[in-house]
Structure 1
Amino acid sequence: MADDSDFDERREALKARVQAQIEASKEAKLERQQSASEELVVDESDLNDAIAQANEEFNEHMASMENANASQLRTLAASLILVGSILGMASGGLILQGNPADLINAFSVIGNDESVDVSGIVLEPDGSAVADVNVELMNVDSGEVIGLTTTDSNGYFWFKSIDVTELQLTFTLDGHTTVERIFIPDGAQIKPITLREGTGTVVENEIVSRDGWNTENAVALSTAVGVLTVLTGLIGVQSAVEARRAKRYRRTQYLAGLALFSRGLIIFGPALILAGMMLLMKSRDQFSDVGGE
């Protein structure tokens, strides 16, 4: 009986210790959970403020990047317009320094070939052909005799591959007047030459005045074109300045449009200016009258 009583006491004591350890473990676990819960507690208002501040900083950063990109586009546009306008001003300077005689020569040979054949027929007043007429072809400017020939039995004469310039044909035949015809060949047969009996010389000038086109007119036209080109180039420079200022978008575009008439190197200058205008369209929000600050 004494042994059974001791065994029961030890068992109860062991059970009590185990129960005490279990309770202590539960209390420790509850303390840890409570401590962790207290550490994770965050004020909701502070969290919202932090999120709002982060969003604001992000938006400011993105806006700053967009403004920087737009500013770079606007700077590039201003540079393109400036270069195109300078090319136009240079072209205008070259026009003002040009030789008006070259302009006259250019107009005098428009539509003509470099060399043509010269042919025609010599007739009597009654319309019959005149044979064996001496025909001399001479360059009026240099006085050089280009060719000599005589008319055939049908009254025809022919010179091949003659330069297009001011020429003189002289027709002589014993017992007839001498005919001198001044003309510029155009590849077609010249109108018939009529020889009359008698003496003396008849001069026929077929060079028609080109509406009074002369050196003075050429100088006036060249000067007007050159001045207009330089002025439109200066307008383009002002457009580039306005693009850098970013004050008035429409005014800047209008000035750039006028600068297209500067015709720098024919098409290269206008192409650069047009590219600049397109870039200005992409950065128009940077102008204060559209949406910029």
Structure 2
Amino acid sequence: MDDERKRKLASLRSRVRSQIRSGVDTSSSPSKENGLLQKASSKLKEQIIDETEDESLTISLSRFETEFKRFASTNEDNETLRSVAALCILIGAVLGIVSGMMQLTGNPAELMENSQFFAIDDDVSISGIVLYEDGNEFGGVSIKIYDLNTGKSYGEEITGSNGIFLLPDVPQRPMRMEFKIDGYETVNIVFIPDQATYHYITMHEGEATREIGEITDSNLNQVVVVGTIVGIFSILFALLGVHAYLEVKRAKYYRRTMYIAGLSMFSRGLIFVGPTFTLIGMAFLTLTKKQFRDQNSDNDV
């Protein structure tokens, strides 16, 4: 490697010198020639640094590849590594079963609040317009929005002369939005924020409180049905992971074991933790594939 680098540097220096000689006029002053030499030297140093960095990166990658191949060849008959792969796949399956059970036994309101199946975006903007009874825009109305379960405030605004309001970055969970101004009824809206909904609020004179909207039983029933389906499928895919664990321990059919382990990742154990363990186990399996009976049969043929 050192001889090759010296050869490249010598070739580069000779090329730069030839370019300087051809580019410098015989009538040029010594100071101009020195300036060109300095520029050429600086460019030469930059090229040398770039080439050195590229060579160092190439050496590091080749060394990593060599070490990985050595590790793979050393452990292809290591049954302990296959046991570690089986354990990782089993952990992913167990986490999938836990997630499925949590989905089946969860509170419907919490499922609606937290599940990705009932929210398009994490946060949305709530917009609308406040009107008088005659349909004209109502300015100066105080608007506050709270989490229905925790009471946490997620914003406050006063409508302008056009009556329009906008509350940004509101989570998609059950909320209570309050409209209040002296001399008019207080309006409370209970709803789940939706990016597409534009709210029209009409204020009536009086001192009462008017409630609008509710989290209906039909919505909760829909959440329960979908949550149950998701939980059942999570458990079924997790059971495939348990089956993959047993296949790894038997070490008979490599490809079938890999397919089953891959399908088990759909159990989504704790979102990404379970699939990560399964992937690690599958990676270890690729290093120990020769321990499977069908792979040994292929090699014998």
Report the alpha carbon displacement of residue 225 of structure 1 after superposing the two structures with TM: 0.7
Name the CA shift for 1:139/1:158 in 2 (closer, same or farther; >3 Å). same
CA contact (8 A) 1:238 1:255 kept: no
Name the CA shift for 1:127/1:235 in 2 (closer, same or farther; >3 Å). same
Structure 2 residue 122 is matched with structure 1 residue 112 = yes
Distance 2:158 2:75 in 1: 80
Name the CA shift for 1:150/1:273 in 2 (closer, same or farther; >3 Å). closer
Report the alpha carbon displacement of residue 128 of structure 1 after superposing the two structures with TM: 1.6
SS in 1 for 2:259: helix
**What code does the residue aligned with 1:111 have?**
D
- Which residue number corresponds to residue 77 of structure 2? 73
- Which residue number corresponds to residue 188 of structure 2? 180
Distance 2:284 2:192 in 1: 47
TM-score (norm 1): 0.51
Report the alpha carbon displacement of residue 276 of structure 1 after superposing the two structures with TM: 1.9
Q: Which of 124, 127, 131 is the equivalent residue of 2:132?
A: 124
Report the alpha carbon displacement of residue 258 of structure 1 after superposing the two structures with TM: 0.8
The runs of 5 or more residues in structure 2 that have no matched partner are: 1-72, 266-272
The runs of 5 or more residues in structure 1 that have no matched partner are: 1-68, 244-248
Structure 1 vs Structure 2 CA RMSD: 4.6
CA contact (8 A) 2:76 2:289 kept: no
Report the alpha carbon displacement of residue 149 of structure 1 after superposing the two structures with TM: 6.3
Distance 1:179 1:86 in 2: 53
**What code does the residue aligned with 1:88 have?**
G
- Which residue number corresponds to residue 64 of structure 1? none
SS in 1 for 2:199: coil
Name the CA shift for 1:282/1:79 in 2 (closer, same or farther; >3 Å). closer
Name the CA shift for 1:84/1:260 in 2 (closer, same or farther; >3 Å). farther
CA contact (8 A) 1:112 1:186 kept: no
Report the alpha carbon displacement of residue 239 of structure 1 after superposing the two structures with TM: 1.8
Q: Which of 222, 225, 232 is the equivalent residue of 2:234?
A: 225
Count of aligned residue pairs for this structure pair: 214
Distance 2:245 2:147 in 1: 50
**What code does the residue aligned with 1:140 have?**
L
Name the CA shift for 1:242/1:203 in 2 (closer, same or farther; >3 Å). same
Bigger drift between 129-138 and 233-242 goes to 129-138
CA contact (8 A) 2:90 2:241 kept: yes
SS in 2 for 1:267: helix
- Which residue number corresponds to residue 257 of structure 2? 255
SS in 2 for 1:214: helix
SS in 1 for 2:256: helix
- Which residue number corresponds to residue 92 of structure 1? 96
Q: Which of 269, 274, 298 is the equivalent residue of 1:265?
A: 274
**What code does the residue aligned with 1:236 have?**
A
CA contact (8 A) 2:96 2:235 kept: yes
- Which residue number corresponds to residue 296 of structure 2? 286
Distance 1:90 1:237 in 2: 11
Name the CA shift for 1:215/1:78 in 2 (closer, same or farther; >3 Å). same
Distance 1:262 1:197 in 2: 60
CA contact (8 A) 1:95 1:223 kept: no
Report the alpha carbon displacement of residue 161 of structure 1 after superposing the two structures with TM: 6.6
Report the alpha carbon displacement of residue 275 of structure 1 after superposing the two structures with TM: 4.3
Report 1:1-293 matches (<5 A): 73=77, 75=79, 78-79=82-83, 81-96=85-100, 98=102, 100-101=106-107, 103-104=111-112, 105-107=114-116, 108-113=118-123, 120-133=128-141, 135=143, 137-142=145-150, 151-157=159-165, 165-171=173-179, 179-185=187-193, 190-195=198-203, 203-205=211-213, 212-215=221-224, 217-229=226-238, 231-243=239-251, 251-263=253-265, 265-277=274-286, 279-280=288-289, 284=294, 286-287=296-297, 291=300
CA contact (8 A) 2:141 2:181 kept: yes
